[in-house]
Structure 1
Amino acid sequence: MAFSGGFGVTAAQGATNPNNDFQVANPPNDGISSLSWSPTANFLVSTSWDCEVYCYDVQANGQAVPKASIKHDKPALCSAWMHDGSAVFSGGCDNMVKKWDLATNTPTQIAAHDLPIRHLAWIPEVGLLVTGSWDKTLKYWDARQPTPTLQVQLPERCYALSCTHPLLVVGCAERHLQIFNLSNPQTPYRSIQSPLKYQTRCVATFPDKSGYLIGSIEGRVAVNHVEDSLASKNFTFKCHREQADIYAVNSISFHPRHGTFVTTGSDGVFNFWDKDSKQRLKQMQKCNAPIPCGAFNRDGSIFAYAVSYDWSKGGQDPMASAQGGNNIFLHATEETEVKPRPPANRVGGRR
C-alpha cells in the first residue's frame, strides 16, 4: 500500500496537530496506553484506559476506518499481534489476556495474572505469548492451554518489555533489568541495574539482537549491549527536555528497515534518532499533550502516535482542560527522518 505525505488532514491544524499528520477518526475515549500494527497489513490496534481495544483499517488515502472493538472489564494497557495477523492479544488491569480472533470477531481469555498485566509480546519463533505483570512474574503461554507453560519470578513489578527472539529484555521497578536468552527462558542470562538513575519507562531490543535501549522518566535514553565485549559502545543521551523541565521517555520503537528509532515523550514531542551515528535525525513539532505511545507499521512508512494524558503528573493534571481529548495521528515518514546518516560527534545531550 502506498502511503505518502500528500493526503488531506481531516482535523484543524494548530497545537492539537502541529505536524499536519492525519488524525484518526473515532479515537478512544480515555488515555491511550498502546498502539500496535498488524505484521501483514495496515491494521492498527489501540488500547485505552476506557477499557476498549480498537482496530482501525488504514487505507491508501490515509483514511483510518474503525473496524471493530472489544472490551476489557478494566483499563487495557497493552497489545500485540499474532505473526500472521489473524488475532490480537490484549491485557490490562482486569489481570487477564484476551485473544481477539478478527475473522470471527470473538475474544477469548487465554491468560491471567494476580495483578494487572503491563506488557506482552507474541514470540512466533516458539509459538508462545509472554506476559509481564505487576505481580512480579513473567509467564509464557500456549494460547491453546489454560495454564502457563512456564513462569519466571521477577525481582520487581514489570514496567517494560521487549523481545527480538532470542533476546528478551524486561524492565522492572527499582531499576532492575532482566535479560533473557530464550534458548533458556527459565533463568535470566543477565540481571543488572539500569545504567539510568531513575525509573525505567520503556525498553526496545535491537533488531540485530546485540543490545537494547532503555528510556526513563528523567528524559534520558541508554544504549546498552548484552555482551561485555561490546560495552565500549554503550552510552546515554538526554532527550525530551525543555530548559529546566525534564519529561519521561514514554516509548521507543525501531524502524523495521533502517534500524533507526523514534522516542515519544511526556513533553508532547517525538524524535527520530540514529544510535550508530550518535545523532538526532529530526525533532517534530510539540503537541499540546503527552505522547504516551507510538509504533511503526510493518514497512516503516507510517508512524502512528497517540496524543493523550499519560499520568505523568498523577491524578490531578493541570493541563487537562487544554489537551483537546485523546487522539491518534498517522505520520508518513520521510527518508530524511529515518534513514541512517554518517557518524557525528554527539546525539542529543550525550553524557
Structure 2
Amino acid sequence: MNETSGEFRLDDPPQDGITTVEFGNSIYNLLVSSWDCTIRLYDIKTNLLRATYKNNSSVLDCCYFETSHAASADTNGCVKVYDINTSQETQLGIHEQPVKCVEFSADTKCLVSGSWDQNVKLWDPRAPNEVTCVQQTDKVYTMTISNEKLVVGTAGRRVLIWDLRNMNNAVQKRESSLKYQTRCIRAFPNGQGYVVSSIEGRVAVEYFDPLPEIQKKKYAFKCHRVKEDGTEKIYPVNAISFHPTHNTFATGGSDGLVNVWDGFNKKRLCQFHRFPTSISSLCFNADGTMLAISSSYMMEEGDKHESPPDAIYMRPVTDQETKPK
C-alpha cells in the first residue's frame, strides 16, 4: 500500500493481460476483463472477488449496463451478456473476427460492439440476435459513446462519428490529427468532444462541432515520454478515463505512468508514481473519488520470460489532483 495516497492492490487479479477495468453505477463494483478468458467482478470496498465468469476465449473488453448486467467482447468474435444477480450467460451474437470493444448506450438502450471484421453492430440486450450492422473503414480499434453519438477509431487513423438513432450514414468522417496508430478514444462527459491517443506518446483534444471557430480550439500534445541517458523514449498512450464531474482526464502509458490533465486549460494537474509495467486500462468511479489502474505488460517488447505480475491498483483521488485550477 502507498501510505500517503491510500492506494492498494486488489486481491485475486487476472492471470494474464488485463484488457479493461470498468466501474458501474455503484462506486464500489469493478468489472475486469482479461486475456485469461475471464470477466471478474470485484467489490473494492472489501477487496473481494465477488464473481468470475469463465469464457471460451480471451476477453478484449467489457462494460456494465442497466445496473446488474455486464457485456463482454472476445477473440472468438462473440458478444455475451451476464446477469450479475443470477449468473446467467446469454450470447447476443457474433462477429467474423475478434471483437475489440463493447459499449452500452444509456440513451438508446443498445449495446454496441466493434470488431476487427470492420463492422460495428448494435444489439438489443432484451431481444438477442436483433442487430444493426454497419461497415466501418477498417478494423475497429476503439470506441466511445457521447449521448446519442458513437465515435469509432479504426486502423488507418480514421475516426467516424455516428448518430446511434440513425446509422445509415456517418455524421462525420475524420482523419486523426495524430500521425500514428490510434490506441484509445474517450468522450468528454459534457458532450463537447473527445480525446484520442496514439502509439507515439501523443494525445489530441477534438471537438464535435464542425464550425471553424470551434475547430480552431482543437490541439495535440506530447506525453508519456521519458528521458533516459540523454535519449527520449516514446511510449504508447494506452488508456484514457474522464473524471465524471470535472471534465479532466487521466492517461496511462506503456511507461507505467498515469497523468491527470485539464484538457480545456492545456495543463497537467498531476503525475502519480511509476507502476511496475504498462498501464493497460483506467477508470474513474461514478463519484470521481477513486481511480482503477491496471498494470499489465502489453507485449511491447515481445514475449518476455519475466515481466511484473498483472495487478489492479485502486487509488483514491482528491479534487486537488483532478479539479481544474
What range is the shorter-chain TM-score in? Answer: over 0.9
1:58 maps to 2:44: yes
User: Which of the pair is proportionally richer in strand?
Assistant: 2
- 1:312 corresponds to: 300
1:321 deviates by 1.9
Q: What amino acid maps onto 2:88 in structure 1?
A: T
Out of 233, 241, 259, the position equivalent to 2:247 is 259
In structure 2, what is the Cα distance between the partners aligned to 1:20 and 1:41?
Answer: 16
- 1:226 corresponds to: 208
In structure 1, what is the Cα distance between the partners aligned to 2:20 and 2:5?
Answer: 21
Residue 185 of structure 1 aligns to a residue in which SS? coil
Residue 292 of structure 1 aligns to a residue in which SS? strand
Q: Is the 8 A contact 1:273 1:281 kept in 2?
A: yes
Deviations 1:4-25 (A, max 9, x none): xxxxx3xxx6xxx997621100
Q: What amino acid maps onto 2:247 in structure 1?
A: G
1:67 deviates by 0.5
Out of 7, 10, 16, the position equivalent to 1:24 is 10
Q: Is the 8 A contact 1:18 1:286 kept in 2?
A: no
Residue 195 of structure 2 aligns to a residue in which SS? strand
Number of residue equivalences: 319
In structure 2, what is the Cα distance between the partners aligned to 1:234 and 1:120?
Answer: 27
- 1:216 corresponds to: 198
Q: What amino acid maps onto 1:321 in structure 2?
A: E
Q: Is the 8 A contact 2:244 2:288 kept in 1?
A: yes
In structure 2, what is the Cα distance between the partners aligned to 1:111 and 1:123?
Answer: 18
Q: CA 1:65 to 1:187, structure 2 compared with 1: closer, same or farther past 3 Å?
A: same
1:111 deviates by 2.4
1:34 deviates by 0.3
Q: Is the 8 A contact 2:5 2:316 kept in 1?
A: no
1:286 deviates by 1.0
Q: Is the 8 A contact 1:167 1:205 kept in 2?
A: no
Q: What amino acid maps onto 1:289 in structure 2?
A: T
In structure 1, what is the Cα distance between the partners aligned to 2:299 and 2:124?
Answer: 33
Supply the RMSD in Å over aligned alpha carbons: 1.6
- Quick check: 240-249 or 35-44, which moved more? 35-44
- 2:134 corresponds to: 152
1:242 deviates by 0.5
Q: What amino acid maps onto 2:25 in structure 1?
A: P
Out of 139, 147, 161, the position equivalent to 2:143 is 161
- 1:203 corresponds to: 185
Residue 291 of structure 2 aligns to a residue in which SS? strand
Q: Is the 8 A contact 2:27 2:287 kept in 1?
A: no
In structure 1, what is the Cα distance between the partners aligned to 2:307 and 2:77?
Answer: 32
Q: CA 1:285 to 1:18, structure 2 compared with 1: closer, same or farther past 3 Å?
A: farther
- 1:291 corresponds to: 279
1:180 deviates by 1.3
Deviations 1:243-291 (A, max 9, x none): 2100001011110011100001110000000011110000111112101
Q: What amino acid maps onto 1:219 in structure 2?
A: G
Q: What amino acid maps onto 1:42 in structure 2?
A: Y
Identity among equivalent pairs (%): 35
In structure 1, what is the Cα distance between the partners aligned to 2:85 and 2:54?
Answer: 17
Residue 293 of structure 1 aligns to a residue in which SS? strand
Out of 102, 109, 113, the position equivalent to 2:84 is 102
Residue 336 of structure 1 aligns to a residue in which SS? helix
Q: Is the 8 A contact 1:141 1:147 kept in 2?
A: yes
Deviations 1:27-82 (A, max 9, x none): 000110001111134110100110011000121xxx31110111111110101111
Out of 55, 59, 62, the position equivalent to 1:76 is 59
In structure 1, what is the Cα distance between the partners aligned to 2:159 and 2:36?
Answer: 30
1:274 maps to 2:258: no
In structure 2, what is the Cα distance between the partners aligned to 1:69 and 1:207?
Answer: 30
In structure 2, what is the Cα distance between the partners aligned to 1:20 and 1:29?
Answer: 25
- 2:175 corresponds to: 193
1:173 deviates by 0.5
- 1:337 corresponds to: 321
- Quick check: 25-34 or 227-236, which moved more? 227-236
Instruction: Provide TM-score, normalisation by structure 2.
Output: 0.94
Residue 215 of structure 2 aligns to a residue in which SS? helix
Q: CA 1:79 to 1:322, structure 2 compared with 1: closer, same or farther past 3 Å?
A: closer
Instruction: Provide TM-score, normalisation by structure 1.
Output: 0.88
Q: Is the 8 A contact 1:168 1:205 kept in 2?
A: no
- Quick check: 237-246 or 178-187, which moved more? 178-187
Q: Which 4+ stretches in 1 moved above 4 angstroms?
A: 17-20
Q: Is the 8 A contact 1:139 1:148 kept in 2?
A: no
- Quick check: 332-341 or 19-28, which moved more? 19-28
Residue 316 of structure 1 aligns to a residue in which SS? coil
- Quick check: 100-109 or 27-36, which moved more? 100-109
Q: Is the 8 A contact 1:199 1:216 kept in 2?
A: yes
1:127 maps to 2:80: no
In structure 2, what is the Cα distance between the partners aligned to 1:19 and 1:263?
Answer: 18
